[in-house]
């Protein structure tokens, strides 16, 4: 029987560190529920000492999520580890994940410590964490640029101190696959008690090699991979879980390992992450991109029609892309909608379904057919959107090649309706000016993107914006058959996320 690869998902921790990808407690919890459906083995829920908000998110997930180990990150110090355990202690087999840099460049410039001091601190920290739980992971930050003999020495010592998982990160995404694989082999050969722990890798994608490096590590003996949905993460991101898992599944003849991931939940999970964070997946991204199973070439189309495997090495159904024939429209009932949403991987409470159904009927009156992407946009508006300080009540806009673009906007601000009319370069600019004056925001619009959710002239338009205020960057998302309304929703979503982040910062300061 093939060895199992433990899938450690850090979308809620490292993935959230993508600029603008911050999630609130409700969003993190919903994603954690979806990760359990996906059957990841470990969910890294956050960094509890970072802020009161992060602490509460980790505690909420640990206390209520079952079916996966819940991990929390902690630096190698008593305060971090104690805080992590306080958040985790209500969980099922919770894991404390503590880390310390081992490369000389980090020791000299960041830690101001020598190797003996690092070794002593690593051992003391793991021993302290092991007093709380037998499930302790130690990460050697910047391991791929560290002296391997020193890493082996540290790993051997922390195993004796109680570490049961050892993580060898390519923190800066610097390694090459052959090189990284050899390093993993060296660790296994030169750490005498390595058999007492699971060897893990955490690869960043700065050179586009995170998945390749993780696969090389597996081939040389690593048995846990730390990854994120859609490859989210700091800088260029992390190992994309969906790519890693589908390589292992599709090339089982070569990999000779397996995971427990329920691959049919990959696409719904990817879409949920996109919906929550507003971080769109590039169309040509492997596995979950819009073009991943699209064929435009006539030769390819002909081949696929005759036999799918001529040009498709994976079945779209294997990752959860719908192949159903039921078309939803304005005459569809509540039960059909509920079944379709469930097939997409979402589980709604009765009151949430009521809101979604009401909004579904409104949009279906405008569109002939409702696609999964339309439903996801509705779910974003009615269920997944963060608590709103500002919400849209009414929007009227006028434009044309002979008229002055004007927008009148009415918002609900802290329970009170306020209205403003402005002119602009175009109707969306006028709308944004009115919203900015009503909300009194000083934020700067960094990015604005419009796309069609589905085909046809009746398609919903999806707008993504990136907003910056006092060093905080957020992404806002909105969808509507009327593109100006979609833009207003996206701008307000971004402003609401800014309010959320500022409140979190104030809580942290207190």
Give the CA angle between residues 428, 431, 435 to the nearest 5°.
Answer: 140
Long-range contacts of 179-183 (CB under 8 A, 24+ apart): 180/144, 180/213, 180/216, 180/217, 181/213, 181/216, 181/217, 181/219, 181/220, 182/220, 183/144, 183/148
Burial class (CB in 10 A: 0-12, 13-18, 19+), 386: middle
Cα–Cα distance between 459 and 480 in angstroms, integer?
9
Quick one: pLDDT at residue 341?
81
Question: Which residues pair with residue 408 across a beta bridge?
Answer: 396, 421
Structural tokens at position 261: 């991931």
Instruction: State in words which class domain 388-509 has.
Output: alpha beta
Give the count of alpha carbons within 13 A of 264, CB side only. 9
CA dist 152 and 184 (Å) reads 10
Residue 309: CB atoms within 10 A of its CB come to 10
Q: Quote the pLDDT of residue 333.
A: 83
Q: Report pLDDT for 20.
A: 65
Tell me what pLDDT residue 372 has: 75
Give the relative orientation of helices 241-250 and 266-277 as an angle to the nearest 10 degrees.
170
Residue labelled with tokens 């905080």: 472
CATH T-level topology, domain 3-277: TIM Barrel (3.20.20)
What CA–CA distance (Å, rounded) separates 99 from 112? Answer: 16
For residue 251, the SS3 value is coil
Containing H/E element for 100? strand 95-101
Maximum C-alpha span of the chain: 80
Structural contact between residues 386 and 27, judged by C-beta atoms closer than 8 angstroms: yes
Q: Report d(CA 347, CA 59) in Å as an integer.
A: 22
Q: What is the mean pLDDT of each run of 10 residues along the chain (510 residues)?
A: 95 84 84 96 97 93 98 98 98 96 97 98 98 98 98 98 98 98 98 98 98 98 98 95 98 96 94 83 88 58 56 83 63 82 77 86 77 76 73 94 93 93 96 97 92 74 88 85 93 89 66
The pLDDT value recorded for residue 325 is: 45
The answer to whether 207 and 195 are in contact (CB under 8 A) is no
Q: How far apart are CA 130 and CA 113, in angstroms?
A: 24
pLDDT for residue 300: 45
Tokens 């439903």 — which residue? 375
HEC readout, 369-437: CECHHHHHHHHHHHHHCCCCCEEEEEEEEECCCCCCCEEEEEEEECCEEEEEEEECCCHHHHHHHHHHH
Rounded distance between C-alpha atoms, residue 287 and residue 271, angstroms: 12
Q: What is the per-residue DSSP string for 256-275? A: -EE----GGGHHHHHHHHHH
Q: What integer pLDDT is reported at residue 301 of this predicted model?
A: 45
Compute the distance between CA of residue 412 and CA of residue 414 in angstroms, rounded to an integer: 6
pTM, two decimal places: 0.83
The predicted structure's pLDDT at residue 385: 63
Comparing CA positions, the residue from 205, 153, 156, 155 lying closest to residue 180 is 205
Give pLDDT, residue 451.
82
State how beta strands 3-4 and 6-9 pair: unpaired
User: What span, in angstroms and rounded, lies between the C-alpha atoms of 491 and 244?
Assistant: 35
H or E segment to which residue 82 belongs: helix 78-88
* Alpha-helix runs per DSSP H in 191-289: 210-219, 241-250, 252-255, 266-277
The domain locations on the chain are 3-277, 322-383, 388-509
Determine how β-strand 198-203 pairs with β-strand 224-227: parallel
């Amino acid at each position: 029987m093939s060895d199992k690869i433990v899938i450690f998902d850090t979308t809620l921790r490292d993935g959230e560190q993508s600029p603008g990808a911050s999630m609130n407690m409700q969003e993190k919890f919903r994603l954690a529920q979806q990760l359990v459906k996906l059957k990841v083995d470990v969910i890294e829920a956050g960094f509890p000492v970072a802020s009161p908000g992060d602490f509460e998110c980790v505690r909420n997930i640990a206390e209520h999520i079952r079916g996966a180990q819940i991990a929390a990150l902690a630096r190698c110090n008593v305060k971090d580890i104690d805080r992590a355990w306080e958040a985790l202690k209500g969980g099922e087999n919770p894991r404390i994940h503590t880390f310390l840099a081992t490369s000389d460049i980090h020791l000299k410039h960041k830690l101001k410590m020598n190797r003996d001091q690092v070794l002593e601190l690593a051992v003391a920290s793991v021993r302290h964490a092991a007093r709380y739980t037998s499930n302790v992971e130690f990460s050697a930050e910047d391991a791929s640029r560290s002296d391997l003999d020193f890493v082996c020495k540290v790993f051997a010592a922390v195993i004796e101190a109680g570490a049961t998982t050892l993580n060898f990160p390519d923190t800066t995404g610097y390694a090459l696959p052959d090189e990284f694989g050899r390093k993993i082999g060296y660790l296994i050969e030169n750490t005498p008690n390595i058999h007492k722990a699971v060897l893990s890798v955490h690869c960043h994608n700065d050179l586009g090699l995170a998945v390749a490096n993780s696969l090389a590590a597996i081939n040389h003996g690593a048995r846990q991979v730390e990854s994120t949905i859609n490859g989210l993460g700091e800088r260029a991101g992390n190992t994309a879980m969906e790519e890693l898992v589908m390589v292992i599944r599709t090339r089982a003849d070569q990999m000779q390992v397996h995971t427990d991931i329920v691959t049919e939940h990959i696409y719904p999970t990817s879409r949920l992450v996109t919906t929550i964070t507003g971080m769109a997946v590039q169309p040509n991204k492997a596995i979950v991109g819009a073009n991943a199973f699209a064929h435009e070439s006539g030769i390819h189309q002909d081949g696929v029609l005759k036999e799918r495997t001529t040009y498709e090495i994976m079945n779209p159904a294997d990752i959860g892309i719908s192949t159903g024939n039921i078309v939803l429209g304005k005459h569809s009932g509540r039960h059909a909608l509920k079944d379709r949403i469930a097939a997409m991987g979402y589980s709604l409470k009765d009151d949430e379904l009521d809101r979604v159904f009401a909004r579904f009927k409104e949009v279906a009156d405008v569109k002939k057919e409702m696609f999964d992407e339309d439903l996801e946009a509705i779910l974003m508006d009615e269920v997944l959107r963060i608590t709103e300080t500002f919400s849209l009540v009414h929007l009227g806009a006028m434009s044309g090649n002979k008229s002055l673009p004007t927008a009148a906007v009415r918002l609900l601000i802290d329970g009170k309706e306020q209205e403003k009319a402005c002119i602009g370069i175009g109707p969306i600019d006028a709308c944004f000016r009115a919203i900015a004056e009503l909300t009194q925001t000083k934020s700067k619009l960094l990015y604005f993107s419009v796309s069609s959710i589905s085909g046809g002239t009746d398609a919903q338009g999806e707008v993504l914006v990136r907003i910056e205020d006092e060093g905080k960057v957020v992404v806002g998302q909105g969808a509507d058959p009327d593109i100006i309304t979609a833009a207003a929703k996206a701008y307000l979503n971004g402003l609401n996320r800014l309010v959320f982040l500022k409140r979190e910062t104030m809580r942290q300061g207190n």
